[in-house]
Amino acid sequence: MHHSSSSGAIRGPGIFLAQFVGDEAPLDTLPNLARWAASLGYVGVQLPTLGAKCLDLKQAAESQTYCDDLNGICAEAGVQISELSTHLQGQLVAVHPAFDELFDDFAPIEVRGNPKARTEWAIDQLRLAAKASERLGLAAHATFSGALVWPYLYPWPQRPKGLVDEGFAELSRRWRPILDAFDEAGVDLCFEIHPGEDLHDGASFERFLEAVDQHSRAKILYDPSHLLLQQLDYLGFIDRYHDRIGMFHVKDAEFRPDARSGVYGGYQDWVERPGRFRSLGDGQVDFKQIFSKLTQYGYDGWAVLEWECCLKDGAQGAEEGARFIEQHLITRATRAFDDFAGVESSAARNRRLLGLE
């Protein structure tokens, strides 16, 4: 069942391929992945752009023929590309030195150990992604903001005055030219609101917006799992930020604090943490309300499964996820439910009914 955006409805189900790409069929090439996704009931695929398994980002930015071929491969399999993702490259736009060595793993060998060159490489990757998205006819793009202030998340030792402001000013310096490039391409740049990023909740996103002068292309990738684990009102979040929500990851989570640990998780592995990501329907996220609110506010982007679960196998999560999203999609009502009891209206009649005639 394909839900087109022309009706103002949410589109889907889509699936983010980053957690599934591998070296063996059917997860090894775009044609195979597209057929695999379609066989499970997905109509959209969200593509990671690091590495060349799904697509060659540079070639996609430079060649319309190549992009037409990519769209053709997907169409032939029965899916379409929903969005591209530069989560890992976006992360490298801003890296605190504490994380330099770990994040170097995501960068090409020639820029490792050289944070300045790595940042330049990352910014270039985002520019390519803007152009590639435009050539593919996409409306939105997924990324991470990176983080300079994250190690100072907890205010002990006391943060010197102006530290956070300086961090966000620098984020703005790096991201504004990228946002402008996305604006030129006609594509929204959606930051996944996510712990580990400086943009990890509503307040930090607002701070970023302020730093980039409310840039019209700075949007949100809404993933309720990361908000639930922070004990944030993830439904009120939609009420507050729906104008800025440009993408949606359908991902479940649960938070069960106990006498030993809470939000910070006590350095434990995922399975032992009070806050855990779960497969769709296995956690605490109220997806009925989320789909209702997004529909109410006219969100017409994709609903894309992001599978991350510490218990259930990915193949099972992907199979169940397509059905789960399909069952939550709402066909917008075209008439009021009480139209059958409609009554005629006129200004004179309305005044009469109010006892004013």
pLDDT tens string 32-67: 999 999 999 999 999 999 999 999 999 999 999 999
> Could you read off the pLDDT of 112-162 as tens digits, one per residue?
999 999 999 999 999 999 999 999 999 999 999 999 999 999 999 999 999
pLDDT at 6 exceeding the cut of 80: no
> Could you read off the pLDDT of 103-120 as tens digits, one per residue?
999 999 999 999 999 999
Question: Is this prediction's pTM over 0.85?
Answer: yes
| Residue type, position 130, single letter | A
pLDDT at residue 220, rounded to an integer: 99
DSSP element (H, E) containing 331: none
State both tokens at 258: 């106990």
pLDDT at residue 332, rounded to an integer: 85
Per the rule left: phi > 0, alpha: psi between -120 and 50, beta: everything else, 23 is alpha
pLDDT at 328 exceeding the cut of 90: yes
- Confidence label for 357 from pLDDT (cuts 50, 70 and 90): confident
> Could you read off the pLDDT of 268-297 as tens digits, one per residue?
999 999 999 999 999 999 999 999 999 999
Residue where the block lists tokens 């434990």: 268
- Say which DSSP state 181 is in: H
Which whole number is the average pLDDT over 252-265?
Answer: 98
Q: Rounded distance, CA 41 to CA 44, Å?
A: 9
**What does each C-alpha distance from 221 to 83, 103, 321, 322 come to in angstroms?**
11, 22, 19, 20
pLDDT at 7 exceeding the cut of 70: no
> Could you read off the pLDDT of 167-196 as tens digits, one per residue?
999 999 999 999 999 999 999 999 999 999
Name the residue among 200, 125, 124, 127 with its Cα closest to residue 167. 200
pLDDT at residue 5, rounded to an integer: 43
> Could you read off the pLDDT of 14-37 as tens digits, one per residue?
999 999 999 999 999 999 999 999
pLDDT at 3 exceeding the cut of 60: no
Q: Where are the domains of the chain?
A: 5-353
Q: Specify the fold of 5-353.
A: TIM Barrel (3.20.20)
Percent of the chain at pLDDT above 70?
Answer: 98
pLDDT at residue 1, rounded to an integer: 41
> Could you read off the pLDDT of 201-235 as tens digits, one per residue?
999 999 999 999 999 999 999 999 999 999 999 99
